[in-house]
Amino acid sequence: MAARAYWQGQIRLALVSIPIEVYPATRSGAAISFHQIHEPSGKRIRYEKVAPGVGPVDRDEIIKGYEVSKGNYVLLDEEEIEAVKIESRKTLELVQFVDADEIDVLYYEKPYFVVPADDLAEEAYVVLREALRASRKVGLGQLAVRGREQLVSIKPCGRGLVMEVLRYADEVHKAQGYFRDIEDTKPDKDLLDLAATLIDKKTAPFKPAEFHDRYVDALHRLIDKKAKSKSNKRIIEDDGEPASGGKGNVIDLMAALKKSVGDDGARSPAKPAAKSTPARKSAARKTAATRSRKSA
């Protein structure tokens, strides 16, 4: 296998140990990074280590510090930091199993492929994979890598297993703090039916290759054009989409959903307009009653 293993060791389940190798399942190939350039000279900008009131400092004079209050630091040298690092172990012990849908999506951070280290490990590997699949469970454990301990999950993926690094509880914001002001109300049934119809109409198998980062694609085109032109003249990329005029923020949700669904009568809810009439009449009666109370 050409890729370099992220971790090598064994999965331990009670008295059973399975030699494995772990490989990154993702890559950052789509990202584009820029350097800062001094335009008149074309030279790349470099940064010096400086201290306010002191100026440039040598690397061997730099030490790490943790800010405990504004401008006050606890200083730690490398030996002190190294002393508290977790010893890298070659065993990932599965200490708990949970239902596959019990882990909130907010906790998943990064996936890795888990493969058997050799032919002898394959039988036990397959047994673990199929046992997890049959029980619809996810195995949990902690992996010591590079001095830190990571919470990870193990679950089936096709013919193999995937290990996903999970965030710890103190790394995830509580959703309630962001959603508490959203009213707990039931949506209008007609609107809900139209939205469900639209979802059904646009439902299709997930094909990741069909999606692209259009910003990255545009940057690649721009860079290619400038490289071929051998000029620093500004080139503006036109995405072909009209700019928003800032109007139309207030919309008729029913009309927008109907327009989105289209004229596919076979899949549209039966007589949505007739269902919505009582709601409009009710609203009209409330308005009339309010006016009569004000006039009185």
CATH number at residue 144: 2.40.290.10
CA atoms within 13 A on the CB side of 200: 13
Q: What is the mean pLDDT of residues 134-150?
A: 91
- Write out the DSSP string of 180-202: TTS---PPPHHHHHHHHHHHHHT
Q: Is residue 153 part of a domain?
A: yes
Q: What are phi and psi of 295, to 5 degrees?
A: -70, -30
Task: Please report whether residue 91 resides in a domain.
Answer: yes
Lowest model confidence (mean pLDDT) among 142-146, 174-178, 264-268: 264-268
Decide if 139 is inside a domain.
Answer: yes
In this structure, is residue 116 part of a structural domain?
A: yes
DSSP structural state of residue 167: -
Note the pLDDT tens digit of each residue in 224-278.
888 888 776 777 666 555 555 544 455 687 788 788 887 554 444 444 444 444 4
Q: How far apart are CA 93 and CA 112, in angstroms?
A: 17
pLDDT tens-place string over residues 27-73: 876 678 888 998 888 899 988 889 988 988 998 889 999 999 998 99
The parent domain of residue 93 ranges over: 7-26+85-171
Question: How many angstroms separate the Cα of 67 from the Cα of each of 30, 55, 126, 147, 179?
Answer: 35, 21, 49, 22, 32
Has residue 162 been placed in a domain?
yes
Within 10 angstroms of residue 45's Cβ, the number of other Cβ atoms is 8
Q: Does the structure show a pLDDT above 60 at 293?
A: no
How many domains is the chain built from?
A: 1
Assess if residue 152 is contained within a domain. yes
Q: Residue 66 and residue 72: Cα distance in Å, rounded? A: 8
Among 81-95, 101-115, 190-204, the range of highest mean pLDDT: 101-115
Spatial separation of the C-alpha atoms in residues 22 and 114, rounded to whole Å? 5
List, in order, residues 6 or more apart from 155 with CB less than 8 Å away.
100, 132, 138, 139, 161, 162, 164
**Chain mean pLDDT for the chain:** 81
Domain assignment present for 79: no
Report yes or no on whether pTM surpasses 0.85.
no
Residue 140 inside a domain? The answer is yes
- Out of 59-63, 110-114, 124-128, which region has the weakest mean confidence (pLDDT)? 59-63
Residue 29: DSSP 8-state:
T
